[in-house]
């Protein structure tokens, strides 16, 4: 076999899509979509140049946050947010452990499995803010609506991940405990839960973190917490107060991530 000329033998990484026609079609489709999509973005330049000054004020607000002007409101909002986070996470865990066990295919009969999976699907497909709007309409303004929203959202998240975890456990210990003739509850308590406990702890801490972040959102639609304070601050263009609230949220999230890292390392 004759060696090809050096230039032609230069190695190239293989293209992602082998078929050249398909490759061109995908690229052309993507380009067409981009043109169409960017065409629908209406940019109001006059409004944007107005906004520029406000944007700068927001950035400078971030550099000089004003904690004092709305301190009472911020404190009240933070207390509501934090208490809402804790209670909703605890209630959410308490409800999602049985549902998670029920949604594990290897432990329960099929009707129970389908029922629990249906609950999870409903909870996961409704977004927090929409649930919050409906619940505020039902139970009135205030953190109780937020608490219900976050508990509801926790169920879908935690049960799904817990169920997937239970389906992945080592069947040998379960088999060994079943061989002792133990009733089903002790089978769960001694065969299943010890295997998933560290991960359940990790997931719960992660959800605590998410619930805190979401508690800032549900306040926008009236379900209590720091979101209401933030909404007021932004509506009044008090960007330095808004920046103070955002900085507090970021700091709490960072602290909770650090603590949950420590706890997870310790639980292993």
Partner 1 sequence: MPVIAYPEGRKSWQRRTPRGQIAVWFGWLLAVAFTAFCWRVMTEGTIWAFVWDAPTQAADIGARMIPPRWSYFPTLLKPLWDTLNIATLGTLAAIALSVPVAFLAARNTTPSATFVRPLALFLIVASRSINSIIWALLLVAILGPGVLAGIIAIALRSIGFIGKLLYEAIEEIDESQVEAIRATGASGAQILAYGIVPQIMPAFAGISVFRWDINIRESTVLGLVGAGGIGLNLESSLNTLAWPQVTLILLVILATVVVSEWVSAKVRHAII
Contact positions vs partner 1 (CB under 8 A): 13, 33, 37-38, 40-44, 47-48, 50-51, 54-55, 58, 79-80, 82-84, 86-87, 90, 125-127, 129-130, 133-134, 137-140, 142-144, 147, 213-214, 216-217, 220-221, 227, 230-231, 234-235, 237, 242, 246, 249-250, 253-254, 257
d(CA 132, CA 153): 10
Shortest CB 172 distance to partner 1, Å: 19
Q: Which is nearer to partner 1, 76 or 165 (CB)?
A: 76
Q: Which is nearer to partner 1, 101 or 131 (CB)?
A: 131
d(CA 246, CA 225): 13
Shortest CB 112 distance to partner 1, Å: 24
Shortest CB 145 distance to partner 1, Å: 9
Is 234 in contact with 242 (CB distance < 8 Å)?
Answer: yes
Is 147 in contact with 88 (CB distance < 8 Å)?
Answer: yes
SS3 of residue 260 by DSSP: helix
Q: Which is nearer to partner 1, 199 or 213 (CB)?
A: 213
SS3 of residue 238 by DSSP: coil
Name which of 93, 84, 95, 92 is nearest 215 in CA terms: 84
Q: Which is nearer to partner 1, 24 or 251 (CB)?
A: 251
d(CA 21, CA 27): 10
Q: Which is nearer to partner 1, 100 or 143 (CB)?
A: 143
- SS3 string, 18-67, reads CCHHHHHHHHHHHHHHHHHHHHHCCCCHHHHHHHHHHHHHHHHHHHCCCC
Shortest CB 185 distance to partner 1, Å: 15
Q: Which is nearer to partner 1, 6 or 40 (CB)?
A: 40
Shortest CB 175 distance to partner 1, Å: 19
Phi and psi dihedrals of 56, rounded to 5? -60, -40
Dmax (CA) for the chain in angstroms is: 84
Question: Given its phi and psi angles, is residue 89 left (phi above 0), alpha (psi -120 to 50 degrees) or beta?
Answer: alpha
Q: Which is nearer to partner 1, 57 or 112 (CB)?
A: 57
Shortest CB 2 distance to partner 1, Å: 27
Shortest CB 194 distance to partner 1, Å: 9
d(CA 249, CA 78): 9
Shortest CB 83 distance to partner 1, Å: 4
Q: Which is nearer to partner 1, 102 or 147 (CB)?
A: 147
d(CA 134, CA 179): 49
């Amino acid at each position: 076999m004759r060696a090809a000329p050096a230039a032609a033998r230069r190695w190239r990484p293989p293209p992602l899509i082998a078929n050249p026609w398909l490759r061109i079609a995908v690229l052309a489709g993507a380009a067409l979509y981009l043109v169409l999509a960017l065409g629908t973005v209406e940019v109001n330049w006059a409004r944007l140049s107005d906004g520029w000054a406000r944007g700068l004020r927001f950035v400078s607000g971030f550099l000089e946050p004003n904690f004092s002007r709305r301190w009472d409101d911020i404190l009240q909002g933070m207390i509501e947010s934090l208490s809402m986070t804790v209670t909703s996470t605890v209630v959410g865990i308490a409800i999602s452990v049985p549902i998670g066990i029920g949604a594990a295919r290897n432990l329960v009969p099929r009707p129970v499995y389908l029922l629990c999976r249906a609950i999870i699907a409903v909870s996961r497909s409704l977004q927090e803010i929409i649930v919050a709007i409906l619940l505020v309409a039902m139970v009135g303004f205030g953190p109780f609506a937020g608490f219900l929203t976050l508990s509801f959202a926790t169920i879908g998240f935690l049960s799904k991940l817990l169920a997937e975890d239970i389906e992945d456990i080592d069947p040998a210990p379960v088999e060994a405990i079943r061989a002792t003739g133990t009733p089903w509850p002790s089978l769960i308590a001694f065969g299943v839960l010890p295997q998933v406990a560290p991960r359940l702890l990790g997931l719960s801490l992660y959800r605590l973190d998410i619930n805190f972040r979401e508690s800032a959102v549900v306040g926008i639609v009236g379900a209590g917490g720091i979101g209401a304070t933030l909404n007021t601050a932004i509506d009044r263009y008090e960007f330095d107060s808004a920046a103070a609230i955002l900085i507090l949220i970021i700091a709490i999230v960072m602290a909770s991530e650090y603590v949950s890292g420590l706890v997870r390392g310790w639980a292993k």
